């Protein structure tokens, strides 16, 4: 795994810390542990999946769906980060 440069030089984790380990856990089938490692993984997968499908197919209300998924993803990442640094 690549080390977090932010944690190495500044001493605190960034908002992306844990995503590599979360993906590794997903690939091993450990879905609950992947969520606990990085709660934003599932909204991020939904957003990326929708973007890929939208690239190949015309989807009605795609822009609104992308905005909603992006807000959900960013909110999940920020809220989980704030919870993590408060502990």
Please tell me the total count of domains within the chain. Answer: 1
Tokens 């920020």 found at: 78
What's the pTM value of the predicted model, to 2 decimals? 0.87
- Tell me whether residue 52 is in a domain: yes
Residue-averaged pLDDT of the chain? 94
- Tell me whether residue 83 is in a domain: yes
- Tell me whether residue 48 is in a domain: yes
The predicted structure's pLDDT at residue 13: 87
pLDDT at residue 52 above 90? Answer: yes
Query: What is the 3 state secondary structure string of 7-70?
Result: HHHHCCCCCCCCHHHHHHHHHCCCHHHHHHHCCCHHHHHHHHHHHHHHHHCCCCCHHHHHHHHH
pLDDT digits (tens, 9 = 90+) for 64-79: 999 999 999 999 999 9
- Tell me whether residue 82 is in a domain: yes
Tokens 């440069």 found at: 5
SS3 1: coil
- Tell me whether residue 41 is in a domain: yes
What is the extent of the structural domain holding 69? 30-87
């Amino acid at each position: 795994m690549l080390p977090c440069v932010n944690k190495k030089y500044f001493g605190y984790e960034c908002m992306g810390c844990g995503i590599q380990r979360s993906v590794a856990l997903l690939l091993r089938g450990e879905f609950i542990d992947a969520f606990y490692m990085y709660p934003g993984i599932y909204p991020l997968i939904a957003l990326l999946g929708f973007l890929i499908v939208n690239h190949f197919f015309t989807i009605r209300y795609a822009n609104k769906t992308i905005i909603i998924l992006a807000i959900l993803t960013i909110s999940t990442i920020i809220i989980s980060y704030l919870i993590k640094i408060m502990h």
